[in-house]
Amino acid sequence: MRPFKLAVLASGRGTLLPALVELCAAEPSRFELACLVVNVPDAPVRALATQLTPTCPQLVLPHRDYPDRAAYETAMLAAMAPYRPNLVVLAGFRRLLTSTFLDGIACPTINVHPSLLPAFPGMDAPAQALAAGVPTTGCTVHFVDAGMDTGAPIASRHVAIEPGDTPDSLHRRIAAQEAPLLCEVITRLAAAT
């Protein structure tokens, strides 16, 4: 049986990458990290990937090298095609994807966001939650569409807001829930195929 192949798109530190590598290492016949696509050449996720999973192909495609989103996403699709992913996972990928990519990729694309969507989409979700005075926030794994965190939610985890929370302290507690939730969703999606 062919492993369920993950293509990971990242732009920053790669805080979700260790959990994805661990998921694939725990069940190598079931999951495979097919490729890592990075749009920022000096992103720390590249060094982390080299350390954790040196055999995983790194596709470095700086978005600034392309005249527009459509050209960039067409190049991403071409670079990813040989790896035939079953699922694209956004792991801190700091670019909105358009229909060029989403209609062109032959598999679902998912993202994890630090709020209980549809509440607090976009940047600084923990700060948005604190400013709104809600008692609870959390994280959501959702399908990606061409909007800003508007794709259909798949699963979420709640995180209580504590007295004295700052955006940073709240974000750290939310982040601790993101990787386990993401791996749970990937496992469910793989089982459904």
pLDDT in tens, 143-174: 999 999 999 999 999 999 999 999 999 999 99
Pairing of strands 136-143, 109-113: antiparallel
Q: How much is the mean pLDDT over the chain?
A: 95
Please confirm, yes or no, whether 113 is among the known catalytic residues: yes
Model pLDDT for residues 64-76, shown as the tens digit of each residue: 999 999 999 999 9
Please give the pLDDT value at position 9.
97
Which residue from 186, 184, 162 is spatially nearest to 174, judged by alpha carbons? 162
Nearest to 187 by CA among 3, 14, 11: 3
Residue 83: CA atoms inside 13 Å, Cβ hemisphere, count? 26
The dihedral sign for the CA sequence 86, 83, 103, 186: positive
What Å distances lie between residue 178 and 15, 101, 111, 170, CA to CA? 10, 24, 10, 13
Spatial distance between the Cα atoms of 116 and 127, rounded to a whole number of angstroms: 13
Query: Residue 2 pLDDT more than 90?
Result: no
Q: Strands across the sheet with 109-113, in order? A: 58-60, 31-38, 4-10, 87-90, 109-113, 136-143, 153-160
Q: Using one digit for the tens of pLDDT, what is the confidence trace for 26-43?
A: 988 999 999 999 999 999
Choosing from 113, 142, 158, 171, the catalytic residue is: 113
Whole-model pTM?
A: 0.94
